[in-house]
Amino acid sequence: MTQDSRGAQRLTEKLGVDIDAELLDLALTHRSFAYENGGIPHNERLEFLGDSVLGLAVTSMLFTRHPELDEGSLAKRRASVVSTVALAEVARGIGLGEHLRLGRGEERTGGRDKDSILADAMEAVIGATYLSAGPDTATAMVLRLVEPLLEDPERYGVAMDPKTGLQEIAARQGLTPPVYVIESSGPDHDRRFVATVTVGELEMTGEGTSKKTAEMAAALSAWRLLNQRVSA
């Protein structure tokens, strides 16, 4: 058994599903790797499919479990569970980053731990599961993975609005309000944003395909660190 196949086996064991090897390989292939290797297929089509599977699974679950919630409340909760920062948290929980196929540039800049790359790959894996094992298995896997996000009410609320969560915890700890600085790079059709948030003496960064998602990623990272300090 090769190192790649052993890695794929470890990943499918964590996911609790059997996924076609070629589809899983495709789901883990970032476009940066594809472009550096002759324009081979990458995971964005599977990501498109997985996004729909994820959305339907979470929507059905929330609708069934929370008959007391109105449409607006259901929509907010769904948005938090399927957000980039939430999916990246799920991906880190199964060690998805170590299995990604990335181009040299992304390797050098820490692509294996970038929220946007992890979230996109997570959706691609969901899409691969749907094609390999069918909708029921894919739905069950999704619900199993997102369950921890729903069990921690404070984290759940912060994932939905990390900037507000950071502002509140900073105030409780007597720190200065968060200040954000945005930098961007890349061509217009593939713009990437990096946000740096400063809270007291703490600085954290986050990346996204928009200023908003980058700020949210940075805010969530800073909130986690401040929350750990309180819990320690």
Catalytic residues: 51, 123
154 has binding-site annotation: no
Half-sphere exposure of residue 84, counting CA atoms within 13 Å on the CB side?
23
CB 62 within 8 A of CB 43: no
Rg for the chain, CA atoms, rounded: 18
Q: What angle do CA 84, 122, 41 make, to 5 degrees?
A: 115
Q: What angle do CA 115, 162, 199 make, to 5 degrees?
A: 95
DSSP sequence for 105-156? HHHHTTGGG-HHHHHHHHHHHHHHHHHHH-HHHHHHHHHHHHHHHHH-HHHH
CA 139, CA 127: separation in Å to the nearest integer?
10
123 has binding-site annotation: yes
Tokens of 96: 């998805």
68 has binding-site annotation: no
**Binding-site residues from annotation:** 47, 120, 123
**Binding-site residues from annotation for Mg(2+):** 47, 120, 123
